[in-house]
């Protein structure tokens, strides 16, 4: 019984860290984002995005709305390509001021297609790397 509890606790830790923890470098955040897309964890992906916290905004409801829009848009594309089979970081470039970064990734889809993607990241007010989805 004790072994089952330990195994369950470890499985839970892995689930929670898959799209949320695991270090905060541009590469780690880009890998977490790709893992979230692979697992169709759109809320986890949105949690990795840079968001300016404006006074009076309901951040949680906005996140849910963005996750829903992302799901609608991404699922048709991912279904067409039969999902993400694998991904790997090919480069990381941090700006001189250390506030922004670009991470190159190779994404392989289950239907055999491959894409080279560049993820832009920036630090938030707390110094954590986040996906920069802005222009």
For residue 117, the Cα-to-chain-centroid distance in whole angstroms is: 13
Quote the number of domains for the chain: 1
Confidence band (pLDDT; 50, 70, 90) for 10?
Answer: very low
Going by C-alpha positions, the residue among 123, 82, 83, 86 that lies closest to residue 105 is 86
Structure token digits, residue 69:
């829009």
Q: Which domain holds residue 97?
A: 23-131
Phi first, then psi: give them for residue 110, nearest 5 degrees.
Answer: -65, -25
**CATH code for the domain in which residue 72 is found:** 3.10.450.50
**12 inside domain:** no
How far, in Å, CA of 29 to CA of 67, rounded? 17
**5 inside domain:** no
- Tens of pLDDT, residues 73-92: 888 888 888 999 999 999 99
Query: For the CA atoms of the chain, what is the radius of gyration?
Result: 16
Helices (H), the chain: 2-18, 26-38, 42-47, 59-80
**30 inside domain:** yes
């Amino acid at each position: 019984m004790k072994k089952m509890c330990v195994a369950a606790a470890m499985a839970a830790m892995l689930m929670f860290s898959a799209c949320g923890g695991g270090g905060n470098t541009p590469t780690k955040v880009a890998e977490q984002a790709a893992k979230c897309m692979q697992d169709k964890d759109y809320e986890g992906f949105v949690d990795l995005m840079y968001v300016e916290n404006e006074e009076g905004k309901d951040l949680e409801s906005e996140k849910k709305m963005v996750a829903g829009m992302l799901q609608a848009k991404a699922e048709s594309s991912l279904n067409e390509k039969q999902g993400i089979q694998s991904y790997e970081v090919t480069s990381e470039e941090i700006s001189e001021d250390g506030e922004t970064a670009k991470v190159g990734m190779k994404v392989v889809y289950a239907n055999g297609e491959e894409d080279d993607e560049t993820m832009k990241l920036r630090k938030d007010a707390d110094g954590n790397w986040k996906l920069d989805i802005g222009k």
